[in-house]
């Protein structure tokens, strides 16, 4: 998957603009559908890659997600690291593979990270034949 799908959404839609007022506004959230898990349940012969932007327990969370989602690879990064995450042109990721390998990549520009991910997908494809 290559989308940053939100884990939650507003529980109720409003049909009118919510005007500024005094006090605190509270919005209830509900979970969104888990697209990666749904694809993992009906994986067939596809190679499934998921992403995990984490703020703590990166390796533990990535390994658990790999199993839980039936993915072939999880690309995980600690978004609290300098040079990684959302507001930067670089990233620092670790690739967690179904075969147990964990490939920590150095800080790279995001284009190079994408190419390293695709290299691993091709390797998975080659070794699954």
Distance between CA atoms of residues 96 and 76, nearest Å: 7
The token duo for 32 is 């969104």
Q: What is the pLDDT along the chain (129 residues), one digit of tens a residue?
A: 455 678 888 999 889 988 888 788 888 999 999 889 999 999 888 999 999 999 999 999 999 999 999 999 999 999 999 988 888 999 999 999 999 999 999 999 999 999 999 999 999 999 987
Q: How far apart are CA 114 and CA 106, in angstroms?
A: 13
User: In CATH, which of 3.40.50.2000, 2.40.50.140, 3.30.750.24, 3.40.50.10300 is domain 48-129?
Assistant: 3.40.50.10300
């Amino acid at each position: 998957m290559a989308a940053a799908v939100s884990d939650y959404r507003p529980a109720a839609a409003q049909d009118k603009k919510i005007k500024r007022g005094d006090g605190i506004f509270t919005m209830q959230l509900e979970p969104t559908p888990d697209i990666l898990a749904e694809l993992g349940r009906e994986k067939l012969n596809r190679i499934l890659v998921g992403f995990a932007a984490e703020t703590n327990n990166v390796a533990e969370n990535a390994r658990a997600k790999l199993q839980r989602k039936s993915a072939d690879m999880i690309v995980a990064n600690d978004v609290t690291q300098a040079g990684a995450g959302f507001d930067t042109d670089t990233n620092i990721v670790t690739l967690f593979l179904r075969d147990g390998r964990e490939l920590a990549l150095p800080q790279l520009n995001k284009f190079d990270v994408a190419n390293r991910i695709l290299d691993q997908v091709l390797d998975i494809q080659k070794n699954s034949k």
